[in-house]
Amino acid sequence: MKTKAEVMDFVKETKIWVLATSGEAGPNAIPMMFKSVGENGELILCDVFSTTSVNNLKYCDDVCVVAFGAENGPEGYKMYGKAVFYADGPYAEAAEKATAPLRERGMTPKGGAVVVTIDKILVASPGPDNNKEIA
């Protein structure tokens, strides 16, 4: 099984993450392409068109982010933690820069960033380590 550092290296290279939230309207999951891992291991997701997810965070800040890839065989991880939405400040400014290509194509991303502090990571890959916690 991988170490936390190896998992975070995998997560950084994964093309799409899925952000799962829950709120008064029920659960919501949305793929996120504009994302990064911060200096302290926090997950930074750019808010592009995710009105439901941002509204859910007002109700419940518990989230799950899934990163999964199949380039070298199926491999994935579920990262659980607390999320905060930033409409302005450094995280939002970085999100604004990251989503510039969308504006260049005539789209209008909402702006802002969802930042997740990870509490635990579970293996989501098929096999004997599935659902085991990464130390």
For residue 86, the domain's CATH number is 2.30.110.10
Please report whether residue 74 resides in a domain.
yes
Total number of domains in the chain: 1
Distance CA 129, CA 62 (A): 24
Q: In what order do the strands lie in the sheet with 35-37?
A: 26-32, 17-23, 62-69, 75-86, 113-123, 43-46, 35-37
Range in 35-49, 63-77, 81-95, 100-114 the model is least confident about? 100-114
Please report whether residue 98 resides in a domain.
yes
* Residue 16: domain span: 4-123
Average pLDDT over residues 43-58: 82
Please report whether residue 61 resides in a domain.
yes
Average pLDDT over residues 92-116: 77
SS3 for 78-131, per residue?
Answer: EEEEEEEEECCCHHHHHHHHHCHHHHHCCCCCCCCEEEEEEEEEEECCCCCCCC
Average pLDDT over residues 122-135: 94
Provide the whole-model pTM. 0.87
